[in-house]
A and B are shown apart, each in its own frame.
Chain A
Amino acid sequence: MIRNYLKIAWRNLMKHKAYSLINIFGLAMGAAICLLIVLYIQSERSVDAWRTDADNVYRMALIRKYPTRQSSYAIIPQSFAQTVKEELPEVEQAVRIFNFINNGTLQIRYGDQKFEETKVLLADPTFFAIFKSNLLYGSEEKALSEPNSIVLSERTARKYFGDPARAVGQVLIPELNDEQPLVVSAVVADWPEASHFTFNALVSTAGLDNFEEENYTGFSAHTYFRLHAGASPEKVEAAMPGIIRKFAAGSIQRSFYMPIDEFMAAGNGYTYFLQPLKKIYLTSHLENELRVNGNETTLYIFGLVAIFILFIACVNFINLATARASERAKEVGIRKTFGSERRMLIFQFISESFLISLLAMAVAVALFALLVPVFNDISGKEFTFAALASPGAVALLVVFTCITGSLAGIYPAFVLSSFSPILVLRGRFKSGSHGRSIRSGLVVFQFAISVILIICTLVVNRQMDYMTGERLGFNTEQTVILERTDLLGENTRAFKNELSAIRGVLNVTGSTALPGQQNYFGVSWSTPDKRNEPITGRGILVDEDYADALSLELVKGRFFSRDFPTDSLGVVLNEKAAAELGLPDDPIGQRLITPEEFLNGPEGTEKTYHVIGVVKDFHYQSLHEPITPLVFTSGAPFNNVLGLTAIHVETGAMEPVLSQVKEVWSRFVPEKPLTFQFLDQTIANQYDTEATARKVFTFFSFITIFIACIGLLGLAAYTTRQRVHEIGVRKVLGASVGNIVLMLSRNFIRLVGIATLVAVPVAWYFMYRWLQNFTYRIDSSWDLFVWASAISLATAFLTISFQAVRAAVQNPVKSLRTE
């Protein structure tokens, strides 16, 4: 019997090739996208999940409360690791990981060869006791126990020594201040990418005094604890306030000039909490994460999108199947007359849709191969076609076949099998009217989803433009940032002069930080009369040209100037800092002090600074964050030897200027090639996550509307064919092509219109929520919704009119004759 059914199904497919193609292609497209999304979700969820030994491993993170705000950090003061381990019986082992300066990028010499090494971390000797690893050479105990030992990944060892087996015992020279040689102690198998941090080399903290110094207030260490089996992390968290009182009070007194109680009473506080290691990647988004983490919400959104897309594809199937019901009605009538029960017919139609979804899966596999590179580009993953060969993916294909087969098949099966044989056999069966309202509902639903995605795409795009655009309060264009200009030392002045002389250079400035980089240091300032009420904010050292180079706007006073030697004790504030310090309307000349050592004299003699200017607030950090107090101090006391140098260049002059800058650099710093970035690019980098979201939304909304249009195309083709006779008659009676197209399109356009009305409030709500992620955001203005509606209506209209026009221009005599 099933052979008979499948035979019929196959012959039906062949007989209506266009219809079958639309169905199969739509389903296949949906399934291919779903596959990608499921693989993506799987891969995101697999991060750290493979660490079978990590169930008891937690990272300690911190919520730091300030009197007016709070921040959360993935790093904590370095002394807690040891203290917590000694104080709390729950803790079995502790390890700290430190980021190297320069984000882990280091120049390393081996003999006369020189390499730039990325992802270099510092780690305590206990590292391998907590992070079980596959050591290829060297032993776990000795790997990091000796001072100046370095562990290399296999890939890195190969890079230096050709054969990793040769690595252990070799000496590498890091280009740090003291050039203390490092001895390779072990080679570890390449650290998996599916991890919330990764490294190419680990340098031991053993014997480095500054990591042993007592510090309970400065955040620097990624700190991991392994608890004893069965120990409760809540207990550890609960014990932390006591530990702070017992150990951190002194540090707080020294840093903030006040006893801990007063400090807390002023609205300060530290809340230490534990994050299960396996959850860090998807749920933790703190400051100073070791890498950009994934996002659980994104996974949910993706999952939802996958379901939507699959559903939309199934809707196409349902719509076409029910629209074509009249063609199958005769068969139903005959089968019923010859003894078929309804459930057999239901079974028949479902097995038919299974056949189609099976074919669709085959096509989906091919589409998958085509889409993988596109998707990788968008999502930053590295899937290959081979990912489909895994048992998981095969199971997924089977599940998809079943889901689409039944989801798409059930409704048509029930509709078709319900036909009364009498009506059918009498020819009284009205074609096309069956399930018209359901069909309309489904079309509305499909397009509502499409419109929602289009709106999301537009909103995300506009927010991104806003964030990278010009309202940041400073110039982002035509500016190149040179790195490591601290290497210039006493030649800084000369270097700067040479650069300024290059044709096309507008401004040159040295500083410790530029917008888009995380290099601002944390600092607190107060007025001398209120030294117990300091404000915390960010600090930056600059030379005199900073304000000009970035086109910062001064609202009071002036910026640093070479003409005023006393400026070495001057500060420039942003408006926020002036306000938080409670300075009077004219703050110029107000005196300020800071506990920061390097801003004071030798042996702790306090220097008193005075305010020389106030700049208008600008977004020196990403728009996720509110503008916080920013205090500029002069680089003059340090001879303006500063890590970064920004050059503002005339429009169109970037290329020639850059090549000359390189030439100048190579004369001043022959030993290190120039590394540089563009300011607009570093600013854009802060929004990587959003940039991905932007691409992903664009991709998905394109696919969704594409699949919805495929369905619409099929439906339009079908209804048009049904009305060929009517069209012929109308044309003979004098209807124009325009009249006919309008007549055929009207109903569909109405449906898409309704869909838009449904979609707008939903999309508005979602985007309202999404925009809450940003402290500075666009309004979801009405024109976006108009655009989205226009786009969906236009695509729908184009799709339909393609059919309608074809029908309308046909010679009426021909269509009447086919009657």
Chain B
Amino acid sequence: MLLELNNIFKWVTQGGNRVFLLKHLDLAVEQGDFLSVMGPSGSGKSTLLHVLGMLDDFNEGEYYFQGEPVHGFRDKQRARFQKEHIGFVFQAYHLIDELTVYENIETPLLYQKVSSSERKALVADMLDRFGIVGKKDLFPAQLSGGQQQLVGVARALIGKPRLLLADEPTGNLNSRQSREIMELFQELNAEGTTIIQATHSETNAAYGSRTLHLLDGSWTSTPEP
């Protein structure tokens, strides 16, 4: 078991009332899963991914990652787990505009105390694999959306995470670019990376090994184990 959520609640207080973002949520993800989370806009997909990615807190419930209780972690521990095991891909790419492709991909390694020669090798591999060697000195603004998302994925993978979290990764891309990214995900999954993606599109969800539906912060059907 890679991770497990037990009865997770997350809410915000607005005007004295609790507004639930996640409600009574259970989830179990095995190593090697490729999970697609679907649901209308505002249903809580992003919130869920942030919780899973340890970027955001939750108010109640338990979260085990590789058997370790994330709900009991201190900030430092959480940050360490996050940077060692989790990679993110965003709908809006979220590349650093002032850095080149090469430097963007390299960034996570800077926070993991990887030596500079090793960094060079890892980034070179990644550029090669994604076929963007020729673009390495360009800035994000000089790339198409699909290419930017490729860089985003490369950056998410450079630290060799166990879990790849992708929040509507193709939301800003055309269908051909979407297909390329999804095929890439499938490949990665086949190589052993666990992937959880949030998506609007049935087509994209179909690339996953299973799909869950979220509505107002709860599953619409009980998730199968």
A234 to B46 Cα, complex, angstroms:
82
In the complex, the 4 A-B pairs of residues with the closest C-beta atoms, listed nearest first: A339-B83, A339-B111, A338-B108, A11-B98
Question: What are 24 A-B pairs at a CB distance below 8 A?
Answer: A4-B99, A4-B106, A7-B99, A11-B99, A15-B98, A330-B96, A331-B96, A331-B97, A331-B98, A333-B94, A334-B94, A334-B95, A336-B55, A338-B88, A338-B107, A338-B111, A338-B155, A338-B159, A339-B79, A339-B82, A339-B111, A339-B159, A340-B111, A422-B56
A582 to B44 Cα, complex, angstroms:
100
Q: Are A8 and B96 in contact (CB under 8 A)?
A: yes
A339 to B80 Cα, complex, angstroms:
7
B90 within 8 A of A: yes
A15 to B99 Cα, complex, angstroms:
12
Q: Are B112 and A337 in contact (CB under 8 A)?
A: no
Known: A7-B103, A331-B98, A425-B94. A337 touches B55 (CB 8 A): yes
Q: Are A344 and B111 in contact (CB under 8 A)?
A: yes
**Which residues of B are found within 8 Å of A7, using beta-carbon distances?**
98-99, 103
Map CB proximity to A onto B99-121 as digits: 1 under 8 Å, 0 otherwise: 10001001110111000000000
Q: Are B79 and A341 in contact (CB under 8 A)?
A: yes
A817 within 8 A of B: no
Contact of B55 (CB < 8 Å), options: A15, A340, A421: A421
Shortest distance from the beta carbon of B79 to any chain A beta carbon, whole Å: 6
Known: A338-B88, A422-B50. A4 touches B94 (CB 8 A): no
Residues of A bordering B, CB below 8 Å = 1, 4, 7-8, 11-12, 15, 330-331, 333-341, 344, 421-422, 425-427
**Which residues of A are found within 8 Å of B79, using beta-carbon distances?**
339, 341
**Which residues of B are found within 8 Å of A4, using beta-carbon distances?**
99, 103, 106-107, 110
**Which residues of A are found within 8 Å of B155, using beta-carbon distances?**
338
**Which residues of B are found within 8 Å of A426, using beta-carbon distances?**
46
A4 to B98 Cα, complex, angstroms:
10
Shortest distance from the beta carbon of A818 to any chain B beta carbon, whole Å: 16
Known: A330-B94, A337-B88, A425-B94. A1 touches B110 (CB 8 A): yes
**Which residues of B are found within 8 Å of A15, using beta-carbon distances?**
98
Q: Are A335 and B107 in contact (CB under 8 A)?
A: yes
**Which residues of B are found within 8 Å of A11, using beta-carbon distances?**
98-99
Residues of B bordering A, CB below 8 Å = 46, 50, 53, 55-56, 79, 82-83, 88, 90, 92, 94-99, 103, 106-108, 110-112, 155, 159
Shortest distance from the beta carbon of A350 to any chain B beta carbon, whole Å: 17
Residue ID in chain B nearest A8 by CB atoms:
B98
Residue ID in chain A nearest B113 by CB atoms:
A1
**Which residues of B are found within 8 Å of A331, using beta-carbon distances?**
96-98
Q: Are B90 and A425 in contact (CB under 8 A)?
A: yes
Shortest distance from the beta carbon of B126 to any chain A beta carbon, whole Å: 14
Shortest distance from the beta carbon of A734 to any chain B beta carbon, whole Å: 35
Residue ID in chain B nearest A1 by CB atoms:
B110
**Which residues of A are found within 8 Å of B98, using beta-carbon distances?**
7-8, 11-12, 15, 331
Shortest distance from the beta carbon of A351 to any chain B beta carbon, whole Å: 13
**Which residues of A are found within 8 Å of B83, using beta-carbon distances?**
338-339
**Which residues of B are found within 8 Å of A1, using beta-carbon distances?**
110
**Which residues of B are found within 8 Å of A340, using beta-carbon distances?**
110-111
Shortest distance from the beta carbon of B76 to any chain A beta carbon, whole Å: 8
**Which residues of B are found within 8 Å of A422, using beta-carbon distances?**
50, 55-56
**Which residues of B are found within 8 Å of A338, using beta-carbon distances?**
83, 88, 107-108, 111, 155, 159
Residue ID in chain A nearest B112 by CB atoms:
A339
A427 to B56 Cα, complex, angstroms:
15
Q: Are A341 and B111 in contact (CB under 8 A)?
A: yes
A1 to B114 Cα, complex, angstroms:
10
A334 to B92 Cα, complex, angstroms:
11
Residue ID in chain A nearest B76 by CB atoms:
A341
A8 to B55 Cα, complex, angstroms:
24
Shortest distance from the beta carbon of B145 to any chain A beta carbon, whole Å: 17
A425 to B50 Cα, complex, angstroms:
10
**Which residues of B are found within 8 Å of A333, using beta-carbon distances?**
94
Among A330, A331, A334: residue with most chain B CB under 10 A: A334
**Which residues of A are found within 8 Å of B82, using beta-carbon distances?**
339
A337-B53, A339-B159 known; 7 other A-B pairs, CB under 8 Å?
Answer: A4-B106, A4-B107, A330-B96, A334-B107, A337-B88, A338-B159, A340-B110
A340 to B50 Cα, complex, angstroms:
16
Residue ID in chain B nearest A14 by CB atoms:
B98
A336 to B155 Cα, complex, angstroms:
14
**Which residues of A are found within 8 Å of B110, using beta-carbon distances?**
1, 4, 340
A331 to B95 Cα, complex, angstroms:
8
Shortest distance from the beta carbon of B53 to any chain A beta carbon, whole Å: 8
Q: Are B108 and A339 in contact (CB under 8 A)?
A: yes
**Which residues of B are found within 8 Å of A334, using beta-carbon distances?**
94-96, 107
Shortest distance from the beta carbon of A152 to any chain B beta carbon, whole Å: 69
A8 to B79 Cα, complex, angstroms:
24
**Which residues of A are found within 8 Å of B112, using beta-carbon distances?**
339
Shortest distance from the beta carbon of B43 to any chain A beta carbon, whole Å: 15
Residue ID in chain A nearest B108 by CB atoms:
A338
A426 to B94 Cα, complex, angstroms:
11
A8 to B107 Cα, complex, angstroms:
12
Residue ID in chain B nearest A340 by CB atoms:
B111
A340 to B107 Cα, complex, angstroms:
9
Shortest distance from the beta carbon of A484 to any chain B beta carbon, whole Å: 76
**Which residues of A are found within 8 Å of B90, using beta-carbon distances?**
425
Shortest distance from the beta carbon of A584 to any chain B beta carbon, whole Å: 91
A339 to B155 Cα, complex, angstroms:
12
Residue ID in chain B nearest A11 by CB atoms:
B98
**Which residues of B are found within 8 Å of A336, using beta-carbon distances?**
55
Residue ID in chain A nearest B99 by CB atoms:
A8
A12 to B220 Cα, complex, angstroms:
47
A178 to B98 Cα, complex, angstroms:
87
Shortest distance from the beta carbon of B2 to any chain A beta carbon, whole Å: 19
**Which residues of B are found within 8 Å of A339, using beta-carbon distances?**
79, 82-83, 108, 111-112, 159
**Which residues of B are found within 8 Å of A344, using beta-carbon distances?**
111
**Which residues of B are found within 8 Å of A12, using beta-carbon distances?**
98
